[in-house]
Structure 1
Amino acid sequence: MAKMEKGFVIKAAALLMLIQILSRLLGYARNMALSNLFGQSYETDAFFAAFSIPDFIYNILIGGAITAAFIPVFSSYLAKDRPEQAWRTGSVFSSWVLLLMAVLLMLSFMFTEPLMRVLTQFSPEQMALPVALARITMVQALFMALSALATGVLQSHQHFTWPAIGVLLYNVFILVFGILLIRPIEALWPGYGVASFSVGVVIGSFATLAVQIPTLVKKGFHYRFSLDTRNEGFRRMIRLILPVMIGLSVSQINMLVTQYLATGLESGYFTAMKNAYSLMQLPVGVFAASIAVAIFPTMTAQAAAGDYPELKRSMSMGLRTSFYVTVPAAVGMIVLREPIVRLLFEFSEDFTAADTVIVAQALLYYCIGLAAYGAILILLRGFYAIQNTLMPLLISFAAIALNVVLSLALVGPLGHRGLALAYSLAGIGQCLLLIYFLRRKIGPMGLKGLSRTGLQLLFACSAMALAVWGAAELSAAVLSIAGKLGQLLQVILSIIVGIAVYFFVTGWMHMEEFTLARNLLKRRLHRKRAAASRQ
């Protein structure tokens, strides 16, 4: 990878990581508020189950389309200095997406109750609340589709800031309106107070779109409604997107199977799994996703130019950087699972110590597959960059089948822990298959270096785990962890010790990833000093 491109990727990834960290923190604040206001209960189970219908529609229509089809084709026209063709193609694609979205949402609104009966194991007496919540949140899917299209255009222009800020605002509005509207809604419709968070979801999704519009206009936004199926670029997009749509449909069905099994457990277990999953997704969403999003336009350009050696170097750098962050994150979260959950969620009588244990159990098994799911985000973009969407589709079929089989086998003996473990094992299998078949497509990707990184990480993370465990036990003995201050100090001190040990060991082993992070930090500090001296 050229130095300029490498520097851009690093800067873009760093920016996205910062905004994603803030967004995830707000997401945890949202879940924390939800769990402490309503507990891990039927109400919160209903909220998360209701979200599955519009989420399914959004994901099959556009969830993977932007990355797999829109950005590669739109970017290719921009790279060839054909912006008019890019906008024409984008208009046709957007028109079809919005038309299909409107039709599916109307049908879902009409048949919400039968759909909810199929997707959950709620009793007939419990069905009214999730049906009402689902109908409210359906509007969100339309706004998110428009937002995703705007994001695709901006990222094709190498602009990442406002799309990421939009995600940040999404969680802000859910949290704010979720809290502010509880009492008014509960007063008008007793038993429906949790609907305040559904209203917040709709307002937040609109904000995600609105914040991108000014920059979109500056980039020369030009949309004209068109259903011209003869458009060359649109046909290319459809060829790329159809396998992804099928794969995402199966993937969403897989998640719905998990939802169905989880809602058959005691009330609140489905919410506990959602809370644990959101914690596991922090390193994936903040670090791995940021790296994948930042590196994807570069990989697409390298593939379009036929520069496969540089493409493979980009892939290798992305994977090694992702593992450097996600592996220690998984180990740290496993060691600190109960202190973290207790700190973040146990605030009221509605969320008890028993609830903490339930979430921590699920978190343990989710973390087993954390690094694999981070790598999957980068590997998928490797296939999308070379405009191959069929192989990831076939691999997703295999992973989903494995997840369903394991879920059915493990939910009996392990309950919610079995569902989390099945998800992790399926992710590891998918990651290995993606590496194997991508290597067959583009040739060796420096896996020897990846293996060396893996061995170094094993040693460094073992030392880190011992240090974190020792720090947590020592702080628990010295501090009073009955209160939030003691819990906060226990978690923060343990994390600081873990990070210090991890960086020391990886630096001592002269890992390339450590050197990259250190040099980036030095450059940032140097720029700040230079700016201060000029002032």
Structure 2
Amino acid sequence: MLKQTETKKTIAGSAAAVGVAVMCSRVLGLIREQVFAGLFGAGFTYDSFVVAFRIPNLLRDLFGEGALSAAFVTVFSDYDATRTREETYRLASNVLTFILVLLSLLTLGGIYFAKDIVMLLAPDFDLVAGKVELTRQLTRIMLPFLVLISLSAVVMGILNTRGRFFIPALASSFFNLGSIIGGTSLAMLLPRYGQPAIVGMAVGTLIGGLLQLCVQLPTLWKTGFRYRFGLNLRDAGLHRILKLMIPATVGLSATQINIFINTNFAASCAEGSVSWLYYSFRLVQLPIGLFGVALSIAMLPVLAKQAAQKEVIKMKETMISSLTMVFALTLPATAGLIILAEPIIRLIFEHGAFTATDTIQTAQTLALFAIGLFAYSANKVLVPAFYALDKTRYPVIASFLAIGFNLVIVTLTINRLGHLAIALSTSCTMLINFIFLMGVLYVSMGGYSVRYLLKGLGKIVTSTLFLCLVLVALLPLASPWLAGNLIEQAVALFFLIFTAAIGYGLVLQLMRLPELDVIVRRVFAKIIPAKR
């Protein structure tokens, strides 16, 4: 029991560090989206930017940050536990060189075929004069972002394995800073030279990607790592990483196929649909990043080391505890986003070119995305467990099942719901993925404590219902303020969220959820360090 408690504290502590850093990043990310909303609204220009930015993001998830990060951390953690430091760092240098060469070639190919890729992803853009050409231009500018963010992911993996979580998680804040400051400055400057303002934001994306990589390098240097240029394609460690990446990449390709399908559907809906979907999903990514991604990043090195040492019982305890933490944090966030979707969107985005109609459409989309929030975050925790067990084929199967369900749901509902069908389908497929992965993991691990998980879930659901009652009761009182000026809206929303969160926390505390105590202590330890 003592060891289980220590594992909870280790993961919660690391997740707290990541969570605080991710909070900074997500807040800056929202400011970035506010800048876009104010300057470009939802429509022709921002639709083009979203599709253009989605192309390097598709490749990043497919070949870079997603599959690479999990595979690299798994092998690097094993080397760190069983090999010398020189061997471990030699592997890291070789992986960095390999990724640099491979993704540079992919980037050059993407730049050459940019128009064809745009037409494949959003063929209906050709119906609007100039939209394909603008999207192609933005794509060519932003494709090198793929190289920068993938190198950043490898550096992040090295630092996480060495127990450094805060700086790597904070690095994405510098991406947002670069995008905001560099992008906005160029957006105001470039129109004087005959270039669209949105081109400045595309260049700002590259500036942000470079900053995200560079800000981690001093911490990497302090760990003792020294990069040595060289490419050894026969390296056994590189082969292990690629072997892990192949099924993960295949699985992620299913996710990208879903994104490809959804982008096609969205591009065929009313103008602005791509933007409404993007703005709303960016908001959903705030709790996903804070809770799901933070716990996943903190948990993966722990699971990998436990797997290397054949500590199956500890692995089960780690996973169940992490899932309970995810539910405790995401279920109240889900309820809050659904109930407060419209006032949240109005406060954050309804300025400048972003209209009241955009607010309504984005809020409806946000509410549907929020339904699958807890499942999306839980999947971020479940997938690393499969990596640690070297059973990566199961997330692959889950991803391809998602394609089938996504196609069926969107096809049946797109004519009636429009772009909302895509948000609904995304949530449904995440829920299906979650159920499938939980079932397979139960069999793969020889069972785990379902009773403990359900007991905790019952307490969390009860507390979340109380949170909903608080919000429903207070909304009529806050409505006049929510319809007021910017300051009144902010005060009213803060009051609603703060009051509901306090109520939720008190009820959960009364019901004595152990993970809540661990989370609260660790978060406060990061925010208010103890005096020595």
TM-score normalised by length of structure 2: 0.95
Contiguous gaps of at least 5 residues in structure 1: none
Moved more, 430-439 or 220-229: 220-229
Within the alignment, does 1:286 sit opposite 2:293 as a pair?
Answer: no
User: How far does the alpha carbon of each residue in 1:33-62 deviate from its partner, in whole angstroms, 9 at most, with x for none?
Assistant: 101111111100000100122222222212
Q: Counterpart in 2 of 1:143?
A: 148
Amino acid at match of 1:43: T
2:497 to 495, 498, 507: 495
Partner of 1:49: 51
Please give the alpha-carbon distance, in whole angstroms, between the structure 2 residues aligned to 1:364 and 1:243: 33
* Partner residue in 2 for 1:298: 302
**In the alignment, which of 436, 448, 453 is matched to residue 439 of structure 2?**
436
Residue 264 (structure 1) shift: 1.2
Structure 1 residue 347, shift from structure 2 partner: 1.7
- Asked which structure has the greater RCO (Cα within 8 Å, sep 6+), the reply is 2
Please tell me the root mean square deviation across aligned C-alpha atoms, in Å. 1.9
CA separation of 1:521/1:34 partners in 2, compared to 1, >3 Å: closer, same or farther? Answer: closer
Q: Does structure 2 retain, via aligned residues, the 8 Å contact 1:150–1:216?
A: yes
* CA displacement at 1:166 relative to structure 2: 1.2
The reply to whether residue 343 of structure 1 matches residue 347 of structure 2 is: yes
1:389 Cα deviation after fit: 1.1
Q: Deviations over 1:295-349 (max 9, x none)?
A: 211111111111111110000110000000000000011110111111111122x
Matched, 1:166 2:168: no
Matching residue of 2:243: 239
Aligned to 2:211: 207
- 2:161 maps to which residue? 156
**Greater mean alpha carbon deviation, residues 130-139 or residues 159-168:** 159-168
Q: CA separation of 1:434/1:110 partners in 2, compared to 1, >3 Å: closer, same or farther?
A: same
Identify if the C-alpha distance between structure 1 residues 264 and 435 changes in structure 2 by more than 3 Å, giving closer, same or farther.
same
Q: Distance in 1 between matches of 2:330 and 2:55?
A: 30
Residue 417 of structure 1 and its aligned partner are, at CA, apart by 1.0
Change (3 A) 1:459 1:5: closer
What is residue 119 of structure 2 aligned with on the other side?
A: 117
Quote the Cα distance in structure 2 between the aligned partners of 1:28 and 1:417: 22
Residues 519/52 of structure 1: CA separation in 2 closer, same or farther (3 Å cut): closer
User: Which of 322, 328, 343 in structure 2 is aligned with 1:324?
Assistant: 328
SS of alignment partner, residue 230 of structure 1: coil
Q: Does structure 1 retain, via aligned residues, the 8 Å contact 2:276–2:358?
A: yes
1:396 to 396, 399, 405: 399
Determine if contact 1:57/1:101 at 8 Å carries over to the other structure: no
Give me the whole-angstrom Cα distance separating, in 2, the residues matched to 1:218 and 1:514. Answer: 34
Query: Which residue is equivalent to 2:19?
Result: 17
1:419 corresponds to which residue? 422
CA 1:447–1:330 in 2, change beyond 3 Å: closer, same or farther? same
Letter of the structure 2 residue corresponding to residue 108 of structure 1: G
Q: The residue matched to 2:414 in structure 1 has which SS?
A: helix
Residue 171 of structure 2 contacts residue 212 of structure 2 at CA under 8 Å; is this kept in 1?
yes
Partners of 2:371 and 2:312 in 1: how far apart?
A: 32
Work out whether 1:263 is the aligned partner of 2:261: no
CA contact (8 A) 2:279 2:362 kept: yes
SS of corresponding position for 1:181: helix
Give the Å deviation of 1:187: 1.8
Per the alignment, residue 355 of structure 1 pairs with 358
Which of 356, 360, 385 pairs up with 1:382?
Answer: 385
Counterpart of 2:181 in structure 1 is 176
How high is the sequence identity, in percent, across the aligned residues?
Answer: 29
Q: Distance in 2 between matches of 1:223 and 1:278?
A: 35
How far apart in 2 are the matches of 1:444 and 1:509? 26
**Aligned AA for 2:264?**
Y
Instruction: Mark the CA change 1:24 to 1:520 in structure 2 (over 3 Å): closer, same or farther.
Output: closer
Rounded to whole Å, the distance in 2 between the matches of 1:417 and 1:47 is: 20
Identify if the C-alpha distance between structure 1 residues 519 and 105 changes in structure 2 by more than 3 Å, giving closer, same or farther.
closer
| C-alpha distance in structure 2 between counterparts of 1:102 and 1:526, whole Å | 43
Distance, in Å, in 1 between the alignment partners of 2:524 and 2:364 is 39
Q: 1:91, CA displacement in angstroms?
A: 3.1
Cα drift, residue 2 of structure 1: 4.9
Tell me the alpha carbon deviations over residues 14-44 of structure 1, each in whole angstroms, 9 at most, x when there is no partner: 1111111111011111111101111111100
Q: How many residues align?
A: 527
Q: Is the 8 A contact 1:52 1:256 kept in 2?
A: no
Cα shift readout 1:246-287 (whole Å, capped 9, x = no counterpart)? 111221121011111111112211111111101111111112
Q: Do the aligned partners of 1:338 and 1:360 also contact (CA within 8 Å) in 2? A: yes
Residue number in structure 2 paired with 1:447: 450
- Deviation (angstroms), 1:525: 9.4
Separation (CA, whole Å) in 1 of partners of 2:284 and 2:485: 25
Tell whether 2:227 aligns with 1:223.
yes
- Amino acid aligned to 2:376: Y
The 1:521–1:174 alpha-carbon spacing in structure 2 relative to 1, beyond 3 Å, is closer
SS of the residue 1:101 aligns to? helix
Q: What residue in structure 2 maps to residue 364 of structure 1? A: 367
Look up the match of 1:133: 138
Q: Which residue of 2 aligns with 1:8?
A: 10
